[in-house]
Protein backbone atom coordinates (compact mmCIF):
# COMPACT_ATOMS: atom_id res chain seq x y z
CA UNK A 1 0.00 0.00 0.00
CA UNK A 2 1.34 3.44 -0.92
CA UNK A 3 0.18 7.01 -0.18
CA UNK A 4 1.58 10.14 -1.86
CA UNK A 5 0.62 13.65 -2.92
CA UNK A 6 -0.02 14.89 -6.42
CA UNK A 7 -0.85 18.55 -7.03
CA UNK A 8 -1.64 18.93 -3.31
CA UNK A 9 -4.13 16.03 -3.28
CA UNK A 10 -3.49 12.76 -1.47
CA UNK A 11 -3.37 9.66 -3.69
CA UNK A 12 -3.32 6.03 -2.60
CA UNK A 13 -2.73 2.66 -4.17
CA UNK A 14 -3.06 -0.95 -3.03
CA UNK A 15 -3.11 -4.45 -4.52
CA UNK A 16 -5.79 -7.00 -3.73
CA UNK A 17 -6.58 -10.52 -4.91
CA UNK A 18 -9.48 -10.97 -7.27
CA UNK A 19 -11.68 -14.05 -7.71
CA UNK A 20 -10.78 -16.06 -10.83
CA UNK A 21 -14.24 -15.52 -12.28
CA UNK A 22 -13.66 -11.74 -12.13
CA UNK A 23 -10.17 -11.88 -13.58
CA UNK A 24 -9.82 -10.62 -17.18
CA UNK A 25 -6.81 -12.86 -17.82
CA UNK A 26 -8.63 -15.95 -16.58
CA UNK A 27 -11.68 -15.18 -18.72
CA UNK A 28 -9.38 -14.68 -21.71
CA UNK A 29 -7.69 -18.03 -21.05
CA UNK A 30 -4.28 -16.49 -20.42
CA UNK A 31 -2.14 -18.28 -17.82
CA UNK A 32 -0.66 -16.21 -15.00
CA UNK A 33 0.69 -16.82 -11.54
CA UNK A 34 -1.53 -14.56 -9.41
CA UNK A 35 -5.12 -13.45 -9.34
CA UNK A 36 -4.57 -9.86 -8.30
CA UNK A 37 -5.38 -6.34 -9.34
CA UNK A 38 -4.04 -2.90 -8.46
CA UNK A 39 -6.39 -0.17 -7.25
CA UNK A 40 -5.36 3.48 -7.40
CA UNK A 41 -7.56 6.36 -6.29
CA UNK A 42 -7.59 9.99 -5.26
CA UNK A 43 -8.67 10.92 -1.73
CA UNK A 44 -10.18 14.23 -2.86
CA UNK A 45 -13.80 13.04 -2.81
CA UNK A 46 -13.43 11.46 0.64
CA UNK A 47 -12.43 14.69 2.33
CA UNK A 48 -9.36 13.02 3.86
CA UNK A 49 -6.32 15.32 3.84
CA UNK A 50 -3.65 14.01 6.18
CA UNK A 51 -1.47 11.04 5.33
CA UNK A 52 -2.73 9.13 8.37
CA UNK A 53 -6.38 9.61 7.39
CA UNK A 54 -5.73 8.44 3.84
CA UNK A 55 -3.76 5.42 5.04
CA UNK A 56 -6.69 4.43 7.26
CA UNK A 57 -9.11 4.91 4.32
CA UNK A 58 -6.92 2.81 2.02
CA UNK A 59 -6.56 0.08 4.65
CA UNK A 60 -10.33 -0.19 5.11
CA UNK A 61 -10.90 -0.32 1.35
CA UNK A 62 -8.21 -2.97 0.99
CA UNK A 63 -9.75 -5.09 3.77
CA UNK A 64 -13.19 -4.81 2.15
CA UNK A 65 -11.82 -5.77 -1.26
CA UNK A 66 -10.00 -8.78 0.19
CA UNK A 67 -13.16 -9.84 2.03
CA UNK A 68 -15.15 -9.63 -1.20
CA UNK A 69 -12.54 -11.73 -3.01
CA UNK A 70 -12.60 -14.34 -0.24
CA UNK A 71 -16.40 -14.44 -0.04
CA UNK A 72 -16.41 -12.96 3.48
CA UNK A 73 -17.58 -9.45 2.69
CA UNK A 74 -18.95 -7.56 5.69
CA UNK A 75 -21.96 -5.37 4.82
CA UNK A 76 -22.67 -1.85 5.98
CA UNK A 77 -25.55 -1.36 8.39
CA UNK A 78 -27.71 -0.03 5.56
CA UNK A 79 -26.89 -3.10 3.44
CA UNK A 80 -27.72 -5.38 6.37
CA UNK A 81 -31.08 -3.64 6.82
CA UNK A 82 -31.82 -3.94 3.09
CA UNK A 83 -31.08 -7.68 3.21
CA UNK A 84 -33.15 -8.14 6.38
CA UNK A 85 -36.14 -6.39 4.79
CA UNK A 86 -35.89 -8.61 1.71
CA UNK A 87 -35.56 -11.83 3.69
CA UNK A 88 -38.34 -11.00 6.16
CA UNK A 89 -40.84 -9.33 3.84
CA UNK A 90 -43.36 -12.14 4.41
CA UNK A 91 -42.00 -13.54 7.67
CA UNK A 92 -42.83 -10.81 10.19
CA UNK A 93 -45.78 -8.56 10.90
CA UNK A 94 -46.21 -5.53 8.68
CA UNK A 95 -45.84 -3.13 11.63
CA UNK A 96 -42.52 -4.69 12.71
CA UNK A 97 -41.26 -4.71 9.12
CA UNK A 98 -42.28 -1.07 8.70
CA UNK A 99 -40.52 -0.06 11.93
CA UNK A 100 -37.26 -1.53 10.63
CA UNK A 101 -37.74 0.11 7.23
CA UNK A 102 -38.29 3.56 8.77
CA UNK A 103 -35.57 3.18 11.42
CA UNK A 104 -33.07 6.07 11.46
CA UNK A 105 -29.45 4.88 11.97
CA UNK A 106 -28.34 8.43 12.84
CA UNK A 107 -25.16 8.30 10.81
CA UNK A 108 -24.36 4.61 11.31
CA UNK A 109 -25.76 3.48 7.96
CA UNK A 110 -22.45 3.55 6.07
CA UNK A 111 -20.50 1.86 8.86
CA UNK A 112 -19.44 -1.75 8.33
CA UNK A 113 -21.23 -3.75 11.01
CA UNK A 114 -17.93 -4.95 12.47
CA UNK A 115 -16.90 -1.31 13.01
CA UNK A 116 -19.90 -0.35 15.11
CA UNK A 117 -17.87 0.31 18.22
CA UNK A 118 -19.37 1.10 21.60
CA UNK A 119 -18.35 4.75 21.18
CA UNK A 120 -20.02 5.35 17.80
CA UNK A 121 -23.20 3.52 18.84
CA UNK A 122 -23.43 5.59 22.04
CA UNK A 123 -23.08 8.78 19.98
CA UNK A 124 -25.83 7.66 17.58
CA UNK A 125 -28.07 6.65 20.47
CA UNK A 126 -27.51 10.08 21.99
CA UNK A 127 -28.62 11.73 18.75
CA UNK A 128 -31.78 9.65 18.80
CA UNK A 129 -32.46 10.50 22.45
CA UNK A 130 -32.03 14.23 21.76
CA UNK A 131 -34.55 14.07 18.90
CA UNK A 132 -37.96 15.69 19.30
CA UNK A 133 -40.40 13.85 21.53
CA UNK A 134 -44.13 14.33 21.46
CA UNK A 135 -43.93 17.91 22.75
CA UNK A 136 -40.48 18.88 21.53
CA UNK A 137 -38.62 17.31 24.47
CA UNK A 138 -36.13 14.47 24.47
CA UNK A 139 -37.39 11.07 23.45
CA UNK A 140 -38.61 8.70 26.15
CA UNK A 141 -36.40 5.89 27.46
CA UNK A 142 -38.75 3.31 25.91
CA UNK A 143 -38.29 4.91 22.48
CA UNK A 144 -34.51 4.91 22.83
CA UNK A 145 -34.60 1.25 23.93
CA UNK A 146 -36.69 0.46 20.87
CA UNK A 147 -34.04 2.08 18.68
CA UNK A 148 -31.36 -0.10 20.27
CA UNK A 149 -33.45 -3.26 19.84
CA UNK A 150 -33.65 -2.68 16.07
CA UNK A 151 -29.90 -2.13 15.92
CA UNK A 152 -29.36 -5.38 17.84
CA UNK A 153 -31.78 -7.12 15.49
CA UNK A 154 -29.79 -6.12 12.40
CA UNK A 155 -26.43 -6.96 13.97
CA UNK A 156 -27.82 -10.29 15.16
CA UNK A 157 -28.98 -10.94 11.60
CA UNK A 158 -25.38 -10.46 10.41
CA UNK A 159 -24.10 -12.82 13.11
CA UNK A 160 -26.62 -15.45 12.07
CA UNK A 161 -25.50 -15.15 8.44
CA UNK A 162 -21.87 -15.48 9.44
CA UNK A 163 -20.81 -11.95 8.43
CA UNK A 164 -19.40 -11.34 11.90
CA UNK A 165 -18.82 -13.54 14.95
CA UNK A 166 -20.18 -11.30 17.72
CA UNK A 167 -21.53 -7.84 18.47
CA UNK A 168 -18.75 -5.27 18.07
CA UNK A 169 -20.20 -3.04 20.82
CA UNK A 170 -21.13 -3.63 24.45
CA UNK A 171 -24.22 -1.63 25.36
CA UNK A 172 -26.93 -3.07 27.57
CA UNK A 173 -30.54 -2.00 27.09
CA UNK A 174 -31.77 -0.76 30.48
CA UNK A 175 -34.86 -2.45 31.80
CA UNK A 176 -37.72 -0.03 31.36
CA UNK A 177 -40.18 0.63 34.14
CA UNK A 178 -43.21 -1.48 33.31
CA UNK A 179 -46.43 0.44 32.89
CA UNK A 180 -49.91 -1.06 33.14
CA UNK A 181 -51.23 -1.95 29.70
CA UNK A 182 -54.75 -1.06 28.73
CA UNK A 183 -57.31 -3.84 28.89
CA UNK A 184 -60.82 -3.64 27.47
CA UNK A 185 -63.15 -4.48 30.40
CA UNK A 186 -65.49 -7.38 29.65
CA UNK A 187 -68.52 -5.35 30.74
CA UNK A 188 -67.71 -2.68 28.14
CA UNK A 189 -66.98 -4.89 25.11
CA UNK A 190 -70.51 -4.63 23.71
CA UNK A 191 -70.64 -0.88 24.25
CA UNK A 192 -67.21 -0.47 22.68
CA UNK A 193 -68.11 -2.49 19.56
CA UNK A 194 -71.31 -0.46 19.12
CA UNK A 195 -69.26 2.73 19.42
CA UNK A 196 -66.82 1.46 16.78
CA UNK A 197 -69.78 0.91 14.44
CA UNK A 198 -71.03 4.41 15.16
CA UNK A 199 -67.70 6.04 14.32
CA UNK A 200 -67.37 4.70 10.79
CA UNK A 201 -69.38 4.61 7.59
CA UNK A 202 -67.65 1.41 6.50
CA UNK A 203 -69.23 -1.71 8.08
CA UNK A 204 -65.99 -3.61 7.42
CA UNK A 205 -64.39 -1.73 10.33
CA UNK A 206 -66.92 -3.26 12.73
CA UNK A 207 -66.25 -6.72 11.28
CA UNK A 208 -62.51 -6.19 11.77
CA UNK A 209 -63.06 -5.22 15.42
CA UNK A 210 -65.20 -8.32 16.00
CA UNK A 211 -62.54 -10.59 14.49
CA UNK A 212 -60.02 -9.08 16.90
CA UNK A 213 -62.32 -9.38 19.92
CA UNK A 214 -63.57 -12.87 19.09
CA UNK A 215 -60.36 -14.55 17.90
CA UNK A 216 -57.52 -12.39 19.22
CA UNK A 217 -56.13 -12.01 15.70
CA UNK A 218 -53.20 -9.76 14.94
CA UNK A 219 -54.11 -6.67 12.94
CA UNK A 220 -52.33 -8.04 9.85
CA UNK A 221 -54.22 -11.33 10.20
CA UNK A 222 -57.54 -9.46 10.35
CA UNK A 223 -56.80 -7.33 7.30
CA UNK A 224 -55.76 -10.46 5.37
CA UNK A 225 -58.63 -12.65 6.67
CA UNK A 226 -60.17 -14.83 3.95
CA UNK A 227 -63.40 -16.75 3.56
CA UNK A 228 -61.44 -19.90 2.67
CA UNK A 229 -60.09 -20.04 6.23
CA UNK A 230 -63.58 -20.43 7.76
CA UNK A 231 -64.86 -23.94 8.47
CA UNK A 232 -68.61 -23.40 8.58
CA UNK A 233 -69.42 -26.92 9.79
CA UNK A 234 -66.86 -26.95 12.61
CA UNK A 235 -67.44 -23.25 13.47
CA UNK A 236 -63.70 -22.58 13.35
CA UNK A 237 -61.31 -20.13 11.73
CA UNK A 238 -57.66 -20.88 10.90
CA UNK A 239 -55.49 -17.73 10.81
CA UNK A 240 -53.05 -17.58 7.91
CA UNK A 241 -52.40 -16.06 4.51
CA UNK A 242 -52.17 -17.06 0.87
CA UNK A 243 -48.62 -16.88 -0.50
CA UNK A 244 -47.81 -18.02 -4.04
CA UNK A 245 -51.15 -19.83 -4.10
CA UNK A 246 -50.38 -21.78 -0.91
CA UNK A 247 -51.81 -21.45 2.60
CA UNK A 248 -49.10 -20.45 5.09
CA UNK A 249 -49.09 -19.33 8.72
CA UNK A 250 -46.75 -17.08 10.68
CA UNK A 251 -45.18 -19.86 12.75
CA UNK A 252 -45.77 -22.77 10.40
CA UNK A 253 -48.65 -24.15 12.46
CA UNK A 254 -52.26 -24.38 11.33
CA UNK A 255 -54.27 -24.27 14.56
CA UNK A 256 -57.98 -23.70 14.09
CA UNK A 257 -59.71 -21.32 16.52
CA UNK A 258 -63.26 -21.95 17.69
CA UNK A 259 -65.47 -19.03 16.76
CA UNK A 260 -67.83 -17.70 19.43
CA UNK A 261 -71.47 -17.74 18.38
CA UNK A 262 -71.83 -13.99 17.90
CA UNK A 263 -68.85 -13.90 15.52
CA UNK A 264 -70.06 -16.94 13.59
CA UNK A 265 -73.51 -15.38 13.15
CA UNK A 266 -71.97 -12.05 12.11
CA UNK A 267 -69.80 -13.65 9.44
CA UNK A 268 -72.61 -15.89 8.23
CA UNK A 269 -74.90 -12.88 7.77
CA UNK A 270 -72.08 -11.05 5.98
CA UNK A 271 -71.41 -14.00 3.69
CA UNK A 272 -75.03 -14.52 2.70
CA UNK A 273 -76.50 -17.73 1.26
CA UNK A 274 -73.71 -18.37 -1.24
CA UNK A 275 -70.17 -19.43 -0.26
CA UNK A 276 -67.48 -16.86 -0.95
CA UNK A 277 -63.78 -16.82 -1.71
CA UNK A 278 -61.22 -14.09 -1.20
CA UNK A 279 -60.78 -11.38 1.40
CA UNK A 280 -63.42 -10.96 4.10
CA UNK A 281 -62.51 -7.25 4.25
CA UNK A 282 -61.63 -6.38 0.65
CA UNK A 283 -60.35 -2.98 -0.40
CA UNK A 284 -61.55 -2.71 -3.98
CA UNK A 285 -59.37 -0.77 -6.41
CA UNK A 286 -59.11 -0.29 -10.17
CA UNK A 287 -56.10 -1.10 -12.34
CA UNK A 288 -54.97 0.96 -15.33
CA UNK A 289 -57.47 -0.86 -17.57
CA UNK A 290 -60.40 -0.13 -15.26
CA UNK A 291 -60.63 -3.70 -13.95
CA UNK A 292 -61.54 -4.12 -10.30
CA UNK A 293 -59.24 -6.04 -7.95
CA UNK A 294 -59.00 -6.54 -4.19
CA UNK A 295 -56.16 -5.81 -1.74
CA UNK A 296 -56.03 -5.71 2.07
CA UNK A 297 -56.69 -2.43 3.84
CA UNK A 298 -53.72 -0.51 5.32
CA UNK A 299 -52.81 -0.95 9.03
CA UNK A 300 -54.57 2.34 9.89
CA UNK A 301 -57.94 0.93 8.77
CA UNK A 302 -59.53 0.69 12.26
CA UNK A 303 -57.55 3.38 14.07
CA UNK A 304 -59.90 6.38 13.79
CA UNK A 305 -63.02 4.39 14.71
CA UNK A 306 -61.29 2.85 17.75
CA UNK A 307 -60.17 6.26 18.97
CA UNK A 308 -63.71 7.55 18.76
CA UNK A 309 -65.06 4.44 20.47
CA UNK A 310 -62.54 4.81 23.28
CA UNK A 311 -63.75 8.33 23.94
CA UNK A 312 -67.44 7.36 23.94
CA UNK A 313 -67.05 4.13 25.93
CA UNK A 314 -64.50 5.47 28.41
CA UNK A 315 -61.82 2.98 27.36
CA UNK A 316 -58.69 5.09 26.64
CA UNK A 317 -55.69 3.50 24.96
CA UNK A 318 -57.45 0.53 23.36
CA UNK A 319 -55.84 -0.24 20.00
CA UNK A 320 -55.86 -3.26 17.71
CA UNK A 321 -52.81 -4.59 19.58
CA UNK A 322 -54.41 -4.04 22.98
CA UNK A 323 -57.55 -5.87 21.85
CA UNK A 324 -55.31 -8.90 21.28
CA UNK A 325 -53.76 -8.30 24.70
CA UNK A 326 -57.27 -8.18 26.20
CA UNK A 327 -58.19 -11.47 24.49
CA UNK A 328 -55.11 -13.23 25.89
CA UNK A 329 -55.51 -11.73 29.37
CA UNK A 330 -59.19 -12.56 29.70
CA UNK A 331 -58.64 -16.17 28.57
CA UNK A 332 -55.87 -16.52 31.15
CA UNK A 333 -58.12 -15.08 33.87
CA UNK A 334 -60.84 -17.50 32.82
CA UNK A 335 -58.49 -20.35 33.75
CA UNK A 336 -57.30 -21.55 30.34
CA UNK A 337 -54.06 -23.52 30.90
CA UNK A 338 -50.97 -21.62 29.66
CA UNK A 339 -50.00 -24.23 27.00
CA UNK A 340 -53.51 -24.07 25.51
CA UNK A 341 -53.43 -20.27 25.58
CA UNK A 342 -50.02 -20.28 23.88
CA UNK A 343 -51.39 -22.50 21.11
CA UNK A 344 -54.45 -20.27 20.62
CA UNK A 345 -52.27 -17.15 20.54
CA UNK A 346 -49.96 -18.91 18.05
CA UNK A 347 -46.75 -18.03 19.87
CA UNK A 348 -43.59 -20.12 19.57
CA UNK A 349 -42.59 -19.25 23.14
CA UNK A 350 -44.85 -19.23 26.20
CA UNK A 351 -42.93 -16.18 27.48
CA UNK A 352 -44.32 -14.19 24.57
CA UNK A 353 -47.86 -15.18 25.49
CA UNK A 354 -47.45 -14.32 29.15
CA UNK A 355 -45.93 -10.99 28.17
CA UNK A 356 -49.43 -9.96 27.06
CA UNK A 357 -50.99 -10.96 30.38
CA UNK A 358 -51.98 -8.17 32.74
CA UNK A 359 -52.40 -8.89 36.43
CA UNK A 360 -55.59 -8.01 38.28
CA UNK A 361 -55.76 -6.56 41.80
CA UNK A 362 -59.34 -7.81 42.06
CA UNK A 363 -58.28 -11.40 41.36
CA UNK A 364 -55.48 -11.14 43.89
CA UNK A 365 -57.84 -9.75 46.53
CA UNK A 366 -60.35 -12.54 45.89
CA UNK A 367 -57.57 -15.14 46.20
CA UNK A 368 -56.49 -13.64 49.52
CA UNK A 369 -60.04 -13.60 50.82
CA UNK A 370 -60.64 -17.22 49.70
CA UNK A 371 -57.44 -18.37 51.39
CA UNK A 372 -58.29 -16.54 54.62
CA UNK A 373 -61.74 -18.15 54.59
CA UNK A 374 -60.26 -21.64 54.20
CA UNK A 375 -57.95 -20.90 57.12
CA UNK A 376 -60.97 -20.03 59.23
CA UNK A 377 -59.72 -16.48 59.72
CA UNK A 378 -62.46 -14.66 57.84
Out of 84-93, 111-120, 250-259, the most confident range is 111-120
Residue 165: predicted pLDDT: 87
The pLDDT-based confidence of 142 (bands split at 50, 70, 90) is confident
Instruction: Tell whether pTM > 0.75.
Output: no
Instruction: Give 143 or 16, the one with higher predicted confidence.
Output: 143
Q: Which of 340, 58, 325, 91 is nearest to 216 (CA)?
A: 325
Residue 167 has a CB neighbour count (10 Å cut-off) of: 18
Each residue of 30-62: pLDDT tens digit?
655 566 778 888 888 777 778 888 888 888 778
Amino acid 24: pLDDT: 66
Q: Which residues 6+ apart lie within 8 Å of 201 measured at CB?
A: none
Measured between alpha carbons, how far is 344 from 193 in angstroms, rounded to an integer?
Answer: 22
**How do residues 238-281 score in pLDDT, each as one tens digit?**
988 776 667 766 655 668 999 999 999 999 999 988 888 899 99
117 vs 73: CA distance, rounded Å? 18
Q: Report the pLDDT value the prediction gives residue 26, as an integer from 0 to 100.
A: 64
- What are the tens digits of pLDDT across the range 118-141? 999 999 999 998 876 555 577 888
Calculate the average pLDDT of the chain: 86
Contact present, 124 and 105 (Cβ < 8 Å): yes
Amino acid sequence: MKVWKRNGVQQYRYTVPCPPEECDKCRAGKPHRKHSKRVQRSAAASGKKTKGEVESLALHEKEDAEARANGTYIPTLNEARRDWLQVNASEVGIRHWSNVEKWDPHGLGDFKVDRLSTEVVQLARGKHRDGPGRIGEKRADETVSGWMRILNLLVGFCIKRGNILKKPYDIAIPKAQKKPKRILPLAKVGTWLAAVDAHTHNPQVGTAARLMVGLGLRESEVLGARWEFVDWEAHTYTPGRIEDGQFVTKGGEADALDMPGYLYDHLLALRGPDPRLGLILPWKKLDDDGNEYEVPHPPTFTRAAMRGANKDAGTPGITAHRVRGTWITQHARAGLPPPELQAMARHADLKTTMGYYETSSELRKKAQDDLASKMGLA
